[in-house]
Amino acid sequence: MTATDVLLVEHPSDDIVVLRLNRSQVRNALNLDVRVRLADEVARYGSDTATRCLIITGSDTVFAAGADITEMAEAGPVEVMARNVQQYWRAIMDCPKPVIAAVEGFALGGGLELALCADIIVAGESAKLGLPEVKLGILAGGGGTQKLARLVGKQRAMLLLMTGRMFGAAEALAMGVAAEVAPAGQALPRALELAKEIAAMPPISIAQIKEIVNAGLNAPLETALMLERKAFQLQFATRDQKEGMKAFLEKRKPAYEGK
């Protein structure tokens, strides 16, 4: 690791990994290098059995202020299609481990789209979020239009997308974009608390919860309920299920192995 790394990898504990965007000189603008590194590290730790939770964060003043416009200002449609930057966000969404975004300061455009790839967003109370792409003659193209509409509903999403206006942490919480609001400067410490709580849970159950919730959101209710039922039944093939219920009956804390 060097001071010029666009992404810093931190290990606050053996089972939690923090991926910190590190381009503060350009407000953590998301260039191709950042996207590739982030996708690679998420894939790496997503397949690491020792890792139980990942956190993506920026600095104390900015999560990510958007895509790096210098990379796209003069691009043509074929070039944009060939770059296919959306593939790197897919790697984060497909991570089998829970991902928490700890957001301080600006999370705009691609920065908000990155945060929306996480399973849980913790926003500092002074955070400013938004999808202002329309002001640049384009639209949110990294999942922003579809994810926002699913989270906040068509009417609110249309307003935010068509005006490009920013909204604060309290509004993000009220709309369902953020899961929690922390005091300013405390988004990462709070995300670490949540990560520790989640890391203590049975990993197979956590992975199954993530999978069936995401799949079920885009399926008819009966199909989603079937997915839930099958996942529930399969838990009884795990040692962690036996350990969890035995510990409950014995009134002790369970020790989950992910097996």
- 54-88 pLDDT tens trace: 999 999 999 999 888 888 788 889 988 888 888 99
| Residue 133 annotated among the catalytic residues of the structure | yes
Calculate the alpha carbon distances from 81 to 40, 75, 76, 77, 85 in Å.
21, 10, 9, 6, 8
Tell me, yes or no, if 67 is annotated catalytic.
yes
Catalytic residue, candidates 66, 110, 144, 244: 110
**CATH code, residues 203-250:** 1.10.12.10
- Active site includes 244? no
What is the spatial order of strands in the sheet that 120-124 belongs to?
7-13, 16-21, 53-57, 99-103, 120-124, 180-182
Distance CA 113, CA 191 (A): 18
What is residue 75's predicted lDDT score, i.e. its pLDDT? 85
Q: What are phi and psi of 189, to 5 degrees?
A: -55, -40
169's CB contacts (< 8 A; 6+ apart) are: 103, 123, 124, 125, 126, 127, 129, 178, 181
Out of 133, 142, 169, 244, which one is annotated catalytic? 133
Q: How far apart are CA 46 and CA 38, in angstroms?
A: 12
pTM for this prediction: 0.94
Q: What does the pLDDT read at residue 4?
A: 59
250 in active site: no
Of the listed 105, 113, 118, 130, which one is catalytic?
Answer: 113
User: What confidence score (pLDDT) does residue 257 get?
Assistant: 93
Domain 7-199 belongs in CATH node 2.40.50.220? no
Kindly name the residue from 67, 178, 182, 191 that is annotated as catalytic: 67
Domain coordinates of the chain in residue numbers? 7-199, 203-250
Q: How confident is the model at residue 35 (pLDDT cuts 50, 70, 90)?
A: very high
Residue 2 has pLDDT above 70, yes or no: no
